[in-house]
Amino acid sequence: MELIDGKATAAKIKEEIAAEVEQIVANGGKRPHLAAILVGHDGGSETYVKNKVLACEKCGFKSTLLRFEDDITEEQLLAEVDKLNKDADVDGFIVQLPLPKHISEQKVIEAIDYRKDVDGFHPINVGRMAIGLPCYISATPKGILELLRRYNVPTSGKKCVILGRSNIVGKPMAQLMMQKQYGDSTVTVCHSRSENLKKECLEADIIIAAIGRPDFVTADMVKEGATVIDVGTTRVPDATKKNGFRLNGDVKFDEVAPKCSFITPVPGGVGPMTICMLMMNTLSAGKKEFYK
C-alpha cells in the first residue's frame, strides 16, 4: 500500500510554481496577481482566504484581499466583481463562498469574467471542461487528477466509481475521469439513491468518495489492490483534540488502507491540494494560458 501524500505534493507544486514565477519575472514578465473577495466574517471562509493569501506569498504571486461586511447588497457586490473584471492588473480572482442569503451565488459566479474565473465555477469553464477544451478546472477535482498523475496511478481503461454527484466534486470528477486526456476510465457515479452501491464499489479499481459521511466506505466494499481517494472532510467531536474536533474522511481508513494499492489520508490527502490547484490556475491566468 502506498500512501498518497497530498501535503508533500502540494508543497512541492508550490515550489515549482514559485520557481516558474521567478523565471517569468526575470524574463521581464508580469508577476501573477490573484484577488479575493471576502464577504462577512464566517470563520471557515476567513481561514480559507487567509490560507489562500499565504499560498500566494509562497508562490511569489501578488495578492489583493477585498473585504466587505455582510450587509453589502447584491448590486454593490456585482459592481465590485465588475471592477475586478476590468482591472488589467488582476489576472484572476475568486469570490469566497458561501455568500449571505440575500445574494445569489449563481448570479455572482456568472458575473465573473470567465477568463479570470480561477475557481473554475463559471458555466463557460464548466462547459469547456465537460467537452475537453482548455479552461480553468475547479480545484478539488483538478487536485485529485494531479495526485493520480504524480503517483502514476493507472487510470486508463480502469473502472472508477465516484461516490457523490455535487457540482463542485462528484460531477466534474466524473467528467474528468471519463475523458481520454485525463482519467480515460470507465466511470460510474453513485449517490444517495443508488441501488447496489456496495456491489459497484467492490468492482472498482478506483473509488473516489465525496459524500460527507464519515467512515462510509468500509473494507468489505473495497476490492484488493484498489486505489481509494477520500475527499470527505466532516468535523466530528474529538475530546483528545485541542479544538474539540477532528476531520474525518468518508473512508474507514484503518481497515481499508491494507487492501489498497494507493490511498489518500484525511487530513493530508486531497485537502492540501485544493488551494494549491487555485495557485496553479492563477499561474495559468498570469500566463494567459487558456484565454487571451
Among 91, 165, 206, 265, binds ligand NAP (CB under 6 A): 165
From the candidates 91, 119, 230, 250, give the one annotated as an active-site residue.
Answer: 119
Does residue number 241 form part of the binding site for ligand NAP (CB under 6 A)? no
Tell me the number of residues near ligand NAP by CB under 6 A.
Answer: 24
Query: Please, what is the minimum distance in Å from the beta carbon of residue 170 to ligand NAP?
Result: 6
Does residue number 12 form part of the binding site for ligand NAP (CB under 6 A)? no
Does residue number 213 form part of the binding site for ligand NAP (CB under 6 A)? yes
- Which secondary-structure segment (H or E) carries 67? strand 62-68
Does residue number 142 form part of the binding site for ligand NAP (CB under 6 A)? no
Helix-helix angle 43-59:271-286, to 10 degrees: 50
Of 166 and 261, the one with the shorter C-beta distance to ligand NAP is 166
Does residue number 170 form part of the binding site for ligand NAP (CB under 6 A)? yes
Taking every pair of Cα atoms in the chain, the longest distance, rounded to a whole number of angstroms, is 58
Checking 231-235 for CB contacts under 8 A at 24+ apart, the result is 231/140, 231/144, 231/164, 231/169, 231/270, 232/266, 233/266, 233/267, 233/271
- Going through 176-273 in order, the beta strands assigned E by DSSP cover 186-190, 206-209, 227-230, 234-237, 245-248, 262-263
Strand partners of residue 64: 35
Does residue number 276 form part of the binding site for ligand NAP (CB under 6 A)? no
> Is residue 52 annotated as part of the catalytic site, yes or no?
yes
In this structure, what DSSP letter does residue 112 have? S
Among 232, 265, 278, 279, binds ligand NAP (CB under 6 A): 232
Length of the chain in terms of residues written: 292
Does residue number 169 form part of the binding site for ligand NAP (CB under 6 A)? yes
Among 96, 155, 185, 233, binds ligand NAP (CB under 6 A): 233
Query: Which residues contribute to the site for ligand NAP (CB under 6 A)?
Result: 140, 163-166, 168-170, 190-193, 197, 210-213, 231-234, 270-271, 274
